[in-house]
Amino acid sequence: MFNELIARDRQVNWHPYSQMKTTTHIPILSGKGSYLFDAEGNRYIDAVSSWWVTLHGHAHPYIADKVYEQLQCLEQVIFAGFTHQPAITLSERLLELLPANQTKVFYSDNGSTAVEVALKMCIQFAHQSGKKKNKILAFKDGYHGDTFGAMSVSERGVWTAPFQDLLFEVIFIDTPNSSNLEELYTLIDQHASELACFIYEPLVQGAGGMLMHTVDALSQLMRHCRNRGVILIQDEVFVGFGRTGTLFAADQLSEQPDVMCFSKGLTGGTMPLGVTTCREEIYQAFYADEKMKAFFHGHSFTASPIACAASLASLDLLLQVETLEAIQRIVGQHTAFAEKVRTVPIIEEVRQCGTILAMDWRVGGTSYFNNMQEQLYKKFLAERILMRPLGNTVYIVPPYCISEEDLNDVYDAILKIAEQ
Ligand SMILES: *Cc1c(COP(=O)(O)O)cnc(C)c1O
């Protein structure tokens, strides 16, 4: 069956970020907790939470039950002119957990759309406030999604090259550290009057290679933007829901963002849903008697009741003492292993932020297309561990249900492969 599924898949499916000619896609039949089972009966530890989405493990029975209940009650209703309990309750619960200045929730379908919504919100906000602001500030090496707006504010590279001429103008700056802040302030001051917003991944730049910056430096940069009237869009699509060791990266920063984006772990990784939240002042600029001041954006499945139900179930699980303790246990295990792996000659730049642990394999350059990526990926698969290195960067982003033993097995595989 294994080979038959691969052959049928190859006939009809086109996979993401895959050179179809040279990649085989392993057929997975089922998942349970932190394990995935393929069509040959092999068991893999999912050390990357299936592209950073799975929070509580695969096929979680509690989320499955809640989704099934919702499916039998109301599976979908148009969210323009109508509303429903799952969306109301989810917004109430999210706002309670987010920085106090976040007061409204706008739903969409995924991380990229949550970013598109945030960008459009800020640009229309400037427009309706009578200001001409059409430039956007972003970090180098950032990643905010694959739709055109999200691509525009992300690092430009080989994969955006075909679209380069169609991407809008963005001012890219370095991530902040203790020695470059003044330089960044000067750059921001030069452009402040035309900046509609600043979009950034807080603390960890995921797809850019798990690059990390400090709480202090980011907080100071945010404060400077705030003082210059630059709206802050905090993209927590990856880091939200416990990844950094706190519920949100925002919990560690001393400045609050104006707009926030969420997806990935929002539904516990069971299905797509995107959320963009904002400050009351932004919402109020759209709140008027004139119809034309409304925010003209929406998707067919905006605020899907099923996805909202999955998110509510995921929040229930996330806020359980056992889960919060598991997160801290993972953080502690990572810290101890980081110490150990720093002594391995072939490994460098070991870095950790909460449950995210990353390290680089010593080679020239960090290109995604580096052979290293493919070799490492295959070596981990042979150890029955799903890792998906970014170039020569190997990282662990585990589901919170991973056992101490399974996480140790992942560490052992890293050491074994490093010594080969
Ligand atoms: C993955 C990601 C996105 C895009 O989310 P999709 O659901 O894949 O469209 C946006 N921002 C960040 C920080 C991400 O990691």
Query: Please, which residues have CB within 8 angstroms of residue 120's CB and are 6 or more apart in sequence?
Result: 149, 295, 297
263 ligand 1 Cβ < 6 A: yes
3-class DSSP state for residue 99?
A: coil
Query: What CA dihedral angle connects 263, 269, 270 and 271, to 10 degrees?
Result: 30
143 ligand 1 Cβ < 6 A: yes
Closest of 145, 148, 136 to residue 231, by C-alpha: 136
Closest approach atom of ligand 1 to CA 113: 9
- Whether residue 264 lies inside any domain: the answer is yes
- Whether residue 18 lies inside any domain: the answer is yes
| The model's pTM | 0.97
Report the residue among 153, 233, 237, 356 best suited for mutation to probe ligand 1: largest number of ligand atoms under 8 A from its CB.
237
Domain's final residue, options 319, 341, 365 = 319
Count structural domains, the chain: 2
Residues 121 and 269 in one domain: yes
- Whether residue 97 lies inside any domain: the answer is yes
Residues 155 and 201 in one domain: yes
Closest approach atom of ligand 1 to CA 110: 7
Any idea what the CATH number is for the domain that residue 337 is in? 3.90.1150.10
- Whether residue 66 lies inside any domain: the answer is no
203 vs 103: CA distance, rounded Å:
23
Domain's final residue, options 283, 300, 319 = 319
- Cα–Cα–Cα angle for 63, 268, 398, nearest 5°? 125
3-class DSSP state for residue 58?
A: strand
Closest residue by Cα to atom 15, ligand 1, is: 238
Digits of tens for pLDDT over the chain (420 positions)? 999 999 999 999 999 999 999 999 999 999 999 999 999 999 999 999 999 999 999 999 999 999 999 999 999 999 999 999 999 999 999 999 999 999 999 999 999 999 999 999 999 999 999 988 989 999 999 999 999 999 999 999 988 999 999 999 999 999 999 999 999 999 999 999 999 999 999 999 999 999 999 999 999 999 999 999 999 999 999 999 999 999 999 999 999 999 999 999 999 999 999 999 999 999 999 999 999 999 999 999 999 999 999 999 999 999 999 999 999 999 999 999 999 999 999 999 999 999 999 999 998 655 555 589 999 999 999 999 999 999 999 999 999 999 999 999 999 999 999 998
CA of 235 from ligand 1 middle (Å) equals 8
Domain's final residue, options 266, 291, 319 = 319
- Whether residue 134 lies inside any domain: the answer is yes
For the record, the structure tokens of 340 come out as: 């150990």
Closest of 264, 200, 193, 274 to residue 232, by C-alpha: 200
Closest of 417, 346, 351 to residue 381, by C-alpha: 417
Q: Give Cα separations from 186 to 170, 191, 203, 297, 382 (angstroms).
A: 17, 9, 22, 35, 50
Residues 305 and 248 in one domain: yes
Per residue, the 3-state secondary structure of 279-313, as one string, reads EHHHHHCCCCCCHHHCCCCCCCCCCCHHHHHHHHH
Residues 109 and 122 in one domain: yes
Query: Please, which residues have CB within 8 angstroms of residue 76's CB and are 6 or more apart in sequence?
Result: 301, 304, 305, 306
CA of 144 from ligand 1 middle (Å) equals 5
- Whether residue 391 lies inside any domain: the answer is yes
276 vs 269: CA distance, rounded Å:
17
Closest residue by Cα to atom 5, ligand 1, is: 111
Domain that residue 325 falls in? 1-59+321-419
Closest approach atom of ligand 1 to CA 238: 15
CA of 153 from ligand 1 middle (Å) equals 12
44 has catalytic annotation = no
Residues 217 and 286 in one domain: yes
Residues 356 and 410 in one domain: yes
- State the catalytic residue, choosing from 109, 235, 258, 360: 235
Residues 98 and 118 in one domain: yes
CA of 262 from ligand 1 middle (Å) equals 9
DSSP characters for 333-362? HHHHHHHHHTT-TTEEEEEEETTEEEEEES
Residues 226 and 290 in one domain: yes
Any idea what the CATH number is for the domain that residue 167 is in? 3.40.640.10
Residues 292 and 330 in one domain: no
Residues 236 and 298 in one domain: yes
Residues 305 and 270 in one domain: yes
Whether 299 contacts 274, CB under 8 Å = no
- Whether residue 8 lies inside any domain: the answer is yes
- State the catalytic residue, choosing from 44, 46, 200, 264: 264
- Whether residue 397 lies inside any domain: the answer is yes
Residues 84 and 220 in one domain: yes
